[in-house]
Amino acid sequence: MTTQNLLVELFVEELPPKALNKLGAAFSGVLAEQLKAQGLAAADAVVTAFASPRRLAAHVTGVLAQAADKAVQQKLMPVAVGLDAAGNATPALLKKLQALGADVSDPAAAVAALKRAPDGKAEALFYDSVVKGATLAAGLQKALDEALAKLPIPKVMQYQLETDCELPGWSSVNFVRPAHSLIALHGNAVVPVKALGLTAGHSTQGHRFEAKFSPVVLQHADQYAETLKNDGSVIASFAERRAEIVRQLKAAAALVGGGCQPIEDEALLDEVTALVERPNVLTCQFETEFLGVPQECLILTMKANQKYFPLIDASGKLTNRFLVVSNISPDDASLVIGGNERVVRPRLADAKFFFDQDRKKTLESRVEGLSKVVYHNKLGTQGERMARVCAIAKAIGQQVGGDALAQQAEQAARLAKTDLLTDMVGEFPELQGIMGGYYARHDGLSTEVAEAIEDHYKPRFAGDDLPRNNVGLVVALADKLETLVGMFGIGNVPTGDKDPFALRRHALGVVRMLVEKDVALGLPELLALSTPVFGDKISGGAEALIDFIYDRLSGSLREQGFSAQEVDAVMALRPARLGQVSQFLSAVRAFAALPESPALAAANKRIGNILKKAGEVDAHVNPALLQEDAEKGLYAVMQKLLPESEAQFKAGDYTASLQTLAALRAPVDAFFDDVMVNAEEMDLRLNRQGLLKSLHVAMNRVADLSRLAA
């Protein structure tokens, strides 16, 4: 059968920019998937998605006008139900065949055409038929309906559409934005499909202001992108438009000179790509006096409010130049440039005003105001929360750095949340912490404390930097632990995809800091320091929280490339000091590579089962009660190897500690071959159990080696 390429486009009013790329991918993906499922497109058909501010489109290669007929075998019913004792068709069988369109005028012939085949314990009747392949019109209609139904629409709107029937009237349509035209071209032929009250044709609209023709008429499905670009002044491909913006941004920055580069922000780039149909990057500037404001404030207001790309010089400092991605390309761009410069000026002036006003009050003078801000109805105000974080930070600081660190951590924790009361953070909540650091320096506080205030929210997201100094590390730990302990203590735990207090992120932050900074405190110890500060405001939650944090650690380790078996082996022992976990994992990986590993892992599992059934067992051996040569031999080897392994473990050489135990394979195998552990004599049984207990303790210092058993 001959094939033609297919083009489908839905032309609408401006789509939500933050969702556009996902909408385009979903529309084309589902459309092609449905065509393939119906046999109208091959499994390897190439699908190209298009998405611009006012259109969603898909181009699919090698689409048939009609799918091939398909042989189908359908199970009807058990033979005992379909045929009577004489082998004739029952009324139930005839009715079923008739419903399927089979000819039942001759019941005997109809029965003869059926197949019998085993179906479980019984035998069933099967009917073979040929289903006619779907036509493109019917198949595309189904695919289009499915693609529209499955669009990840952020919010649906309802609008009225004039009916095309003889009686005048209006019908309601629900979609993300009002739709105005539909294209469905199979080669150069229009496919008669409908959607959202529209009938498919071969014309669309180009750029709102710069299109050369209106409407833009398509002659062939393969000419879509080219015709839109030439006649409609629209770059239909999201990826191509994005790449063009990147190219123009770099070129414009190079013209400014001084090693300038546009700020890197993938989300902003995606959003701007979704706002323009044919980008034109222009260079603008603002007064240098505004550079006295912290650059984070200026960058944020330009990006968030205006969708501009600030320019950063070679040293990472903000310049007074910025780039605008315009949707029009006039011969004289001065009016566009001047307009954008006028628009940004009041925004920058507001930021300067907030910064100047905020510095008239010290952070210390704002502490009292935290008691008027509600944090949580069960956990009190921000003032109460600040006091708890101070107490936790002081306790952690005392443990890891003595009085000096404890004092600095307490001071930073006391002031860390005060910037929430500033005008700048009130306008730009994203700057909390950052502005606190600036104001702390203005107040004359030490660099360590200022950086700690700025960094105490870190890490904010996966891959974010950790706090720069120990004071910041302690305060960040205290802040996250207070949130976790408090929320779990009142039963506010994440469920499914709901995590309103970002507890998963907080837990991962704690894990990263403990692991990457190798904090010399165990996780249970940290939680023990954090819980008492809540008094009677919380009850329980400690066990659930520690499980929650270890789960986050396990997931993080698997993402880093460690196998589930390796992670399970190490995490089964719940290592208290998380900074040692990666060393434990490396040791386990090296041990698992040894030829003795499978046998020892299996033996360890067997020992664990024996001890579990035995109950409480004392790890003590009386050499005088050793009777069999195999148990004497094992004890002798243990006397030599176990102290050596323990010394290596205490020295931090966990790999050597495990590898030393590999020499136990032969005596352990001999022990289980020749010795009855659960002897009838109680003293012999307890002594052998004690021998195994000593061995079990030594083998499982680094990890539960039984988890490595197949």
Q: What is the DSSP string of 82-103?
A: HB-TTSPBPHHHHHHHHHTT--
Stated pTM of the model? 0.80
Beta bridge partners of 130: 71
Q: Which pLDDT score, from 0 to 100, does residue 19 have?
A: 93
Q: Give the three-class secondary structure for 682.
A: helix
Pair 573, 703: CB distance under 8 Å:
yes
With 70 as the cut, is the pLDDT of residue 676 above it? yes
The residue among 498 and 57 whose pLDDT is bigger is 57
Distance of CA 465 to the CA centre of its chain: 18
With 80 as the cut, is the pLDDT of residue 163 above it? no
Domains and CATH numbers, the chain: 3-67+135-232 (3.30.70), 71-131 (no CATH), 238-358 (no CATH), 364-561 (1.10.3210), 581-708 (1.10.730)
Helix axes 629-650, 682-699, angle to 10 degrees: 30
Q: Give the three-class secondary structure for 46.
A: coil
Instruction: Give the whole-angstrom CA distance, residue 221 versus residue 8.
Output: 8
Q: Which residues contact 497 (CB under 8 A, 6 or more apart)?
A: none
Give the pLDDT band of residue 104 (cuts 50, 70, 90). confident
Give the pLDDT band of residue 467 (cuts 50, 70, 90). very high
Lowest-confidence pick of 310-319, 367-376, 439-448, 688-697? 688-697
Q: Give the three-class secondary structure for 274.
A: coil
pLDDT (tens digit per residue) in 253-305: 999 998 999 999 999 999 999 999 999 999 999 999 999 999 999 999 999 98
Average pLDDT, stretch 454-480?
Answer: 95
Beta bridge partners of 318: 312
Phi and psi dihedrals of 165, rounded to 5?
A: -85, 180
Phi and psi dihedrals of 221, rounded to 5?
A: -60, -35
Q: Which pLDDT score, from 0 to 100, does residue 448 have?
A: 97
With 90 as the cut, is the pLDDT of residue 540 above it? no
Q: Which pLDDT score, from 0 to 100, does residue 77 have?
A: 86
What pairing do the DSSP bridges indicate for beta strands 309-312 and 280-285? unpaired
Average pLDDT, stretch 519-530?
Answer: 94
Average pLDDT, stretch 84-90?
Answer: 86
Give the pLDDT band of residue 1 (cuts 50, 70, 90). low
Q: Which pLDDT score, from 0 to 100, does residue 255 have?
A: 95
Beta bridge partners of 184: 8
pLDDT (tens digit per residue) in 354-397: 999 999 999 999 999 999 999 999 999 999 999 999 999 999 99
Q: Which pLDDT score, from 0 to 100, does residue 615 have?
A: 84
Q: Which pLDDT score, from 0 to 100, does residue 169 have?
A: 57
- Can you read off the two tokens belonging to residue 534? 């809540």
Q: Which pLDDT score, from 0 to 100, does residue 618 have?
A: 84
Q: Which pLDDT score, from 0 to 100, does residue 168 have?
A: 57
Q: What is the C-alpha end-to-end distance of the chain, expressed in Å?
A: 53
Q: Which pLDDT score, from 0 to 100, does residue 134 have?
A: 87
Beta bridge partners of 516: none
Beta bridge partners of 190: 185
* Of residues 17, 20, 43, 21, the one with CA closest to residue 32: 43
Q: Give the three-class secondary structure for 40.
A: coil
- What is the dihedral angle through the alpha carbons of 526, 528, 532, 538, rounded to the nearest 10 degrees? 100
Instruction: Give the whole-angstrom CA distance, residue 319 versus residue 597.
Output: 61
- Can you read off the two tokens belonging to residue 473? 């590390």
Residue 368 burial class via C-beta count within 10 angstroms: exposed 0-12, middle 13-18, buried 19 and up: exposed
Q: Which pLDDT score, from 0 to 100, does residue 345 have?
A: 96
Q: Give the three-class secondary structure for 405.
A: helix
Distance of CA 483 to the CA centre of its chain: 22
Give the pLDDT band of residue 166 (cuts 50, 70, 90). low
With 80 as the cut, is the pLDDT of residue 243 above it? yes
